[in-house]
C-alpha cells in the first residue's frame, strides 16, 4: 500500500493505527471532545483531517500518559490554542518536504509529539 501524504485525509482505521488506539476509542472521543470532528461521508464513513490526528494525539497523551480524566482533558484542551499547534506542525512538514520528501512522516509525528509535550508542561 502506498503511504499517504501529510495533508491526506485518513480513514478511521488509518487514524486509529496512527494514533495508536482502537477505532471504537476514536468514535467515543468524538462524543466527548468537541475539537474532534472528522468529515463524515455518505454511509457515515469518517475521514480524519491532519489536524484531527494532531488533536487525537494530544488527547491520547492527556489521558494515557498524563493520567487526566476525560473531564480533566476537556478542561485542559480549552486552554490550548489548537490553531497554533496546527501552524507549528504544518511548518514542520513544509520544512521536511523541502529537505527531500515526506518519507519521514513518523519522524515528524515524533517531533510534533515532543513539541506538544513541551506545550503541555508549560500549561500545567
**Mean pLDDT rounded to a whole number for the chain:** 78
Per-residue pLDDT, 84:
58
% residues pLDDT > 70 (the chain): 70
Per-residue pLDDT, 56:
93
pLDDT over 60 at 111, yes or no: yes
Q: The C-alpha cell of 21 is what?
A: 488506539
Q: What separation in angstroms does the CA of 12 have from each of 33, 78, 81, 124?
A: 16, 25, 25, 31
Give the whole-angstrom CA distance, residue 32 versus residue 34. 6
Neighbouring residues of 54: CB distance < 8 A, sequence distance ≥ 6: 82, 85, 86, 89, 112, 116
pLDDT over 60 at 89, yes or no: no
**pLDDT confidence bin for 122, thresholds 50/70/90:** low
Query: What domains can be seen in the chain, in order of their start residue?
Result: 10-123 (1.10.1660.10)
Per-residue pLDDT, 96:
45
* Model pLDDT for residues 10-69, shown as the tens digit of each residue: 999 999 999 999 999 999 999 999 988 899 888 888 999 988 998 999 899 889 988 999
Exposed/middle/buried for residue 119 (C-beta within 10 Å: 0-12, 13-18, 19+): middle
Give the whole-angstrom CA distance, residue 124 versus residue 48. 28
Nearest to 1 by CA among 18, 14, 12: 14
Indicate whether this model's pTM tops 0.75. no
Amino acid at each position: 500500500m502506498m503511504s499517504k501524504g501529510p495533508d491526506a485525509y485518513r480513514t478511521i482505521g488509518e487514524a486509529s493505527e496512527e494514533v495508536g488506539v482502537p477505532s471504537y476509542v476514536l468514535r467515543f472521543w468524538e462524543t466527548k471532545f468537541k475539537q474532534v470532528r472528522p468529515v463524515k461521508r455518505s454511509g457515515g464513513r469518517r475521514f480524519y483531517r491532519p489536524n484531527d490526528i494532531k488533536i487525537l494525539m494530544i488527547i491520547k497523551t492527556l489521558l494515557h500518559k498524563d493520567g487526566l480524566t476525560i473531564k480533566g482533558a476537556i478542561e485542559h484542551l480549552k486552554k490550548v490554542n489548537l490553531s497554533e499547534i496546527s501552524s507549528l506542525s504544518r511548518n514542520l512538514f513544509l520544512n521536511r518536504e523541502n529537505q527531500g520528501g515526506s518519507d519521514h512522516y513518523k519522524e515528524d509525528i515524533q517531533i510534533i509529539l515532543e513539541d506538544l509535550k513541551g506545550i503541555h508542561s508549560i500549561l500545567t
